[in-house]
Structure 1
Amino acid sequence: MTVVFRQGAGRLCLDFVRTLRLRGKPGVVEELPDAAALAEWVRQCGPAEPTGVPDFVQVKAAQELREAFFRADRDRTDGDRPPGDQCRRARGRCRRRGWSRPASSPGPPKTW
């Protein structure tokens, strides 16, 4: 059975944040527990063209990036400015891994 990931939060990063359900509560559900799940999320949500199955290190990096997005959004909605260093580190991790903007963007591929 293929998992259908939730979409429609308004931003791809917010859809990505929603892959950890019930965060901070009993019964938390990790929707990206392994490489196959991460590859399926990429296939369904389309932040880039899938080029294979990620390895364990990439899964852990994706989970860390997701939590950085969560903290930045939480801080913004709490009235605080997102920590600049945290956002710069998240963008740097994406850039080093060769992750680019959504494949559906018009024009030549863009990189962060």
Structure 2
Amino acid sequence: MMKALNWNEVACVDMRRDQETQKVFVLEINGRFWASVVPSFIKAGVNFPLILLKLSLGEKQSIPKMKPAKQVCLKDYLVSTAKFGGLKFSDTKYQSYLYDPFARLIQVIS
């Protein structure tokens, strides 16, 4: 699909498949990495940008074994906290935001 669009950079493609017809629908294409790219590296140990870079340079790249990881939405974390559940803030994707809050602030206001 990206070759047909003559696109050769990062693309995050959001798609859905109709279960009955098996037809695929492209909902959107974003020319950036998805929001969970940092948590996927920190939590599961998969560095998608590095994998993409090596593949684009023609280098052989094996996909690393993922570490088991958990990521929950903020709502689930807050509900769990209110009920004294077992979820921790580090179970959300927002833990990584604390590592560079200024960059996150700039991202939010721009």
Q: Which has the higher contact order (CA 8 A, sep 6+)?
A: 1
Query: Normalised by the size of structure 2, how large is the TM-score?
Result: 0.25
| Bigger helix share | 1
Query: Normalised by the size of structure 1, how large is the TM-score?
Result: 0.25
Give the number of the structure whose alpha-carbon radius of gyration is greater.
Answer: 2
| Bigger strand share | 2
